[in-house]
Amino acid sequence: MSTQQLFAFLGSLIVILGIGGFLTFQDRILPGKNPSATSARKNASTPIDGAIQSSDAVTIGPDQATVTVVEFIDFQCPFCRAAHPTLARIMDEYKDRPVRFMFRHFPIISIHPLALPASNASLCANEQKQFLPYYDILYTRQDEISLANLVIFAESLGLNLRQFNACLAEKRYESLIRQDVRDGLNLGLEGTPTWFINDTRLVGAVPYEKLKEAIEQELKK
């Protein structure tokens, strides 16, 4: 067994032993539904009680961007997986424009019991500047998500497994995820993905044209 494989095995064992601690978080995340792909509304008349953006969230793009696209995600959500290619296309198209992308977490554990550890794992990967590649793996290989495979995914990206496994074992980002969930609930989230393009809310695996239109409208302001 190679050193990398040994780290992967030990990391998987650590995560499995820690699953009980992860699941105690379940009763703090309200059950929700995954919406269809077409619902959208301007959040003009409804007060916003929660924070759309967070200084602790992972962002891609310029800090002083005119437009911020926030995605509330659940890594086991099939609608989030369906939206993944659309977001990848949009991110590539706007990479040289004043648009940044922010990722916040809304794991609905009542129906997706591995969404919370997957969110934590993505943030552990972010410590090694590999959030987006890890995010991509979680959606392209969503059907393979397991506690053991969270470590295997990290290994496939060449991450430092000792550092990654320590992060998983500590559940290092649970408090950050907890805050994302609180903000999401205060914003009235009922499912994922939910998007905010500045203060414009879109719900579901919206088509490319709808997401692009919302960004362009904000850029014109």
pLDDT of residue 50: 63
Rounded Cα distance, 71 and 87, in Å: 10
pLDDT of residue 54: 93
Are the C-beta atoms of residues 28 and 182 closer than 8 Å to each other? no
pLDDT > 70: what percent of the chain? 77
Label residue 2 by pLDDT band (50, 70, 90): low
Rounded Cα distance, 177 and 175, in Å: 5
Over residues 28-61, the pLDDT tens digits come to 453 443 333 323 333 333 334 569 999 999 999 9
Q: Is 91 exposed, middle or buried (0-12, 13-18, 19+ CB in 10 A)?
A: middle
Superfamily of domain 3-219: Glutaredoxin (3.40.30.10)
pLDDT of residue 162: 97
The pTM of this model reads 0.79
The domain locations on the chain are 3-219
